[in-house]
Every structure is written in C-alpha cells, then in structure tokens.
Structure 1
Amino acid sequence: MTRSAEPEERPAVSSPPRAAVGEETLRKDRWWLAPLLTVLGITAWLVYATARVFYQGAYFVPEYHYLTPFYSPCVSQGCDAEAALMGRFLPDSPLLPFAAVSLPFLLLFRFTCYYYRRAYYRSFWLSPPACAVPDGHRSYKGESRFPLIWQNSHRYFFYAAFAISLINTVDAVLAMRSPTGFGLGLGNLVLWANVALLWCYTLGCHSCRHIMGGRLTHFSRNPIRYRLWTMTSKLNARHMFFAWITLLSLAVTDFYIMAVAAGWFDDPRFIG
C-alpha cells in the first residue's frame, strides 16, 4: 500500500483591515421616521386615554346601555347603577378610575406584548432605533433582570385580557336594546367593530398561540388544537396591525359614546 501524501500547507488568508467609519451610521434614508411616528402615536393615545379615564363622566348612555370600554367593568361606587353589572365595591375617588379593576391588567398586557416591546424599545428607548443604527445605550442586560424580567409575565396578563374581552362582548350584547325592546343604532356598530378587533388582537397574541399548540409534538394526534393553532397563527401574522388598529378603535368608541352621552348629537337608530 502506498502511503497517502501529506496535505499541502495552504497560505494563510488575510484581508485588509476594516475601514474606519466616523459617522454613527451610513444610512441616508429617513430611518428615524418610524421611531418618531411610534412615539407620537403612542404618546397621543396615552394622553387621550389618561384624560378620559380620570374625567369620570360622559361614559354611559343608559337609554341604549352604551358603556365605553375605558370604563368597563364599572365597579366604583360613583358608577351609574345600570352600568355597574359586577357591583360597585370600590370607593368613589377622583384619583381612582371607575374601571380600576381592569385597566392595570389591560395596560400590562399591552406593555408586555411582544410587538409593543419592539415598538417602544426602538422608539422610546432607542434600543436600537433602526437596523444598522447604533444602540442608544452602552450596555444591555436583556430581560433577565429587574425591571425587564417582568416582561416574562405576559402570558398571565393574557388571561386577564381574555376575560376583559369577554366582558366587552357582554357590554356589546346588552347594548342591543332600546326603550321599546331590541334596538340597533350606529353606536352598536361601533361597539361590535371594536369588540371584533379586540378579539383579533387578543387571540393573535403570541401567548395564545403557544397555549393552542406550543407544547404539541404531534399535530396529527390533536386535530382540534392544530386547527386552533392555525387560526391564531393567521391572526398572529397581523399582530402589529391589530395592535395599532385596536388603539384607534378604543379611542373612537370611547369618543363616540362620550359625544352621545354628553348630548353633542343623537345616536342614529336603524331599529328601535
């Protein structure tokens, strides 16, 4: 047998050093526009929502049982008796919102949402603001330490958001009435459109998708859960869209009910 030849030594491959770049980024496009719009959009919604939540007025139309989602469920002793379906057990205080039971969970659900994390990390925290743009912070410890470790609680806030979506659905059902019986007006269409969008956002949540099929190893053995996982996956693909459109629908629904409750105009009625 002949001895195999020793492998030939190959010359070391070298490359010229990387060119020094003085600018923070070489991007010439308007990369800052998306973070700026995100800051303006979220800030505007927070200002409006905060003002409405603590206004504690013009939130209920007893004639048609229109209740704004910002005040649902209304559990304060200052709530209208007809609007307080779950009872009035919180003290009436200008510093305590009428829907103090649900609002913290809804805010935390959105604050820990995977899409919203991306949105405010890039816009408010500049971490990083855009691709190929330096991070606004010198160090990053991830979501393994306080306070960002609380982001891992998103799955638990999903259950609360699911329950509140059910309550909003009940509100929309109860609003399908008039002084003469069954009724349908423009306010009903606004309420149902908001509820439908909220369900699309809630059920498209990453946590919901994981609950449906995240632990399955054989989809063929779980056809029902596979079907549910497929449906939530389709909603999850448009999670960013529903995250933004529900902010708009919540504000529009609240403003419409406020306008009718304040007597700015009458609710157009189609039936009843």
Structure 2
Amino acid sequence: MTTTATRSDAGRSRAAIAAKTLRTDRWWLPPLITFVGLSAWVIYATVRVFMHKWFFVEQYHYLTPFYSPCLTDRCIDGSAMFGTPLPNFWLIPEAALTLPFLLLFRMTCYYYRKAYYRAFWLSPPACAVPDAHEKYTGETRFPLVFQNLHRYAFYAAGIISVINTWDAVVAFRSGDEFGFGLGNVILVVNVVMLWAYTLSCHSCRHIAGGRLKHFSKHPVRYRFWTFVSKLNARHMMLAWVTLGTLALTDFYIMALAAGWWPDLRFIN
C-alpha cells in the first residue's frame, strides 16, 4: 500500500493556483527601490559624463573620478596626467579609455547582476515570484555570455583605482604648497570605498585563495583571503555606498568648478 500511494502521489500535477504568487508581503518594493536608485544614478552619471565641463578645480587640483584620467583636447591644463590623445568630439568622454572597463566591471558584478535582473528584467523580480520570461537560458547566450568577462574587468578596475588614488594624493597640492580641504576628505573617502568595493569582489576573493589546497602553507595569502572574505560579506552594501560616494564627489567638484560655493579649507 505504501508503494502504491507513493507512486500515485508522484504522478499528480501541481495544484492549480490562478495567482502568480501567494506572497502577501510587499515583495515588489525592493526591486522597485533598486530600479529607481540605479536609474537615477545612471541618468546623473550619463549627463555628467557628456557635460564636458565643471570637472576640474585647478586651484586645488580636484579632478572628479567621472573624468579621470582626462584624455581629450577639452582637458584643462593640469588635469591631463597622461596627455590628450583623444580628439575634441562631444560623443567621446574625457575618460573614454577607462569608463567602458568600469561599466563592464559594475555590470558583470555578481551583486549588480542580481540587482538589475530583478529590478529591470523581472527575472525573477523576487523569491517565489514567477519569472517574467517564458524561457530561461542562463548566461550562455548573447549578450549575457559576456558576464564571464568579470574576472578580467576586475584587473582593469584595480588599475583605475590606482589612478583614482593618485588623483586623491595629488589633490593635497594647493599650488606649490600642501593644502587640505573638505574636497580632499571627500576624495579620500571615495577612494577608500572604491578600494573596499573592488577588493570585496568575488573574483578578488578567488584570486586570493580560491586555488589554495593548504592554507597553512600560504599564511600571507590566507590572511589576505580572510580579509577579502570579510569585505565580500558586505559586497552589496559597498556596491551602493560607492555609487553614493562617486556621485557626491563628482557633485562637490562640479559645484566648486561652477563657482556655486567655495571649498572649505583647513590648511592653505
């Protein structure tokens, strides 16, 4: 009898439920907030990248990360660390050689995949909620097959973080003397957060200790792996924090360059 009942239950179809989901909570709120937040940031960043002005404060050497490194003929004297090899064409951003890699790094990030899959593609919008698409092919077809480039985009993001760090260091020069102001604080905080987000990347954690079979034989790499693992647990938080610090840094430098208010100086 037990065998018969089991076979009978196994042959039954799922319960016929007309509703898409039985969830009664506000499951739609997190993807909605994500959609609004990411959309607002993308719009702001796009507008700023193609404004081609108010990106550099020559007096304090403040350069916004959206324009670093500055490479076009529009670059103000002192802002082009690597020269100006790119022409003055409005469709070419000042940081045209680095922005694509930063975009690739963010878009292929494991957290951002979850964020925009749910918020923009509804695939799926939340747990226990049906996918908006009839078929699921994973990340094996165009364009999602490019998600596998994340590990390579990580290396480029590391190099760009070094450039941003140098920008923050150079900004302590006020003319020919040492200078320190609120802009320096904002630039340094932004760089620290960018490094924290970059190092918290899953690819970085794998590079640090993913292939090690005996941690005891590699104590330095093990300690670094432990450090990265702690950051990795906060990867989602750091992803959002860095969006905020990037926007704040850019807006503050834009305000100074436009003359909306002066920089709060502590030294020189």
TM-score (norm: length of structure 1): 0.94
Change in Cα spacing, 1:180 to 1:82, as seen in structure 2 (3 Å) is closer
2:137 and 2:79 map into 1 onto residues whose CA distance is: 46
Deviations 1:17-51 (A, max 9, x none): 64321101111111000111111001000100000
Q: Which amino acid aligns with 1:200?
A: A
Aligned to 2:95: 99
Q: Within 2, Cα distance between the matches of 1:140 and 1:264?
A: 50
Q: Deviations over 1:32-82 (max 9, x none)?
A: 001111110010001000000000100000100000000000011111120
1:1-272, aligned counterparts within 5 Å?
10-14=2-6, 15=9, 18-179=14-175, 181-272=177-268
Amino acid at match of 2:73: Q
- Residue aligned with 1:270, SS: strand
How far, CA to CA, are the matches of 2:15 and 2:47 in structure 1? 52
Matched AA of 2:162: L
Measured in 2, the distance between the counterparts of 1:151 and 1:80 equals 36
After TM superposition, the structure 1 stretch with the greater mean CA deviation from structure 2, 151-160 or 173-182, is 173-182
Distance 1:38 1:127 in 2: 14
Q: Which amino acid aligns with 1:251?
A: A
RMSD over aligned Cα atoms: 1.2
Question: Match of 1:36, as an amino acid?
Answer: L
Count, aligned residues: 264
Deviation at 1:180, TM superposition (A): 5.4
Q: TM-score, normalised by structure 2?
A: 0.96
Identity %: 63
* Aligned partner of residue 177 in structure 2, secondary structure: coil
Q: Deviation of residue 156 (structure 1)? A: 0.5
Q: Secondary structure at the match of 2:173?
A: coil
Report the CA distance shift for 1:175/1:158 in structure 2 as closer, same or farther (over 3 A): same
Q: Distance in 1 between matches of 2:2 and 2:176?
A: 92
The one-letter code of the counterpart of 2:241 is I
Deviation at residue 207 of structure 1 after TM alignment: 0.6
**Which structure 1 residue ranges, 5 or more long, are not aligned?**
1-8
Larger Cα-atom Rg: 1
Cα distance in 2, alignment partners of residues 11 and 109 from structure 1: 54
1:146 deviates by 1.6
Determine the C-alpha separation between the residues in 1 that align with 2:176 and 2:62: 16
Structure 2: distance between partners of 1:179 and 1:10: 87
Amino acid at match of 2:54: A
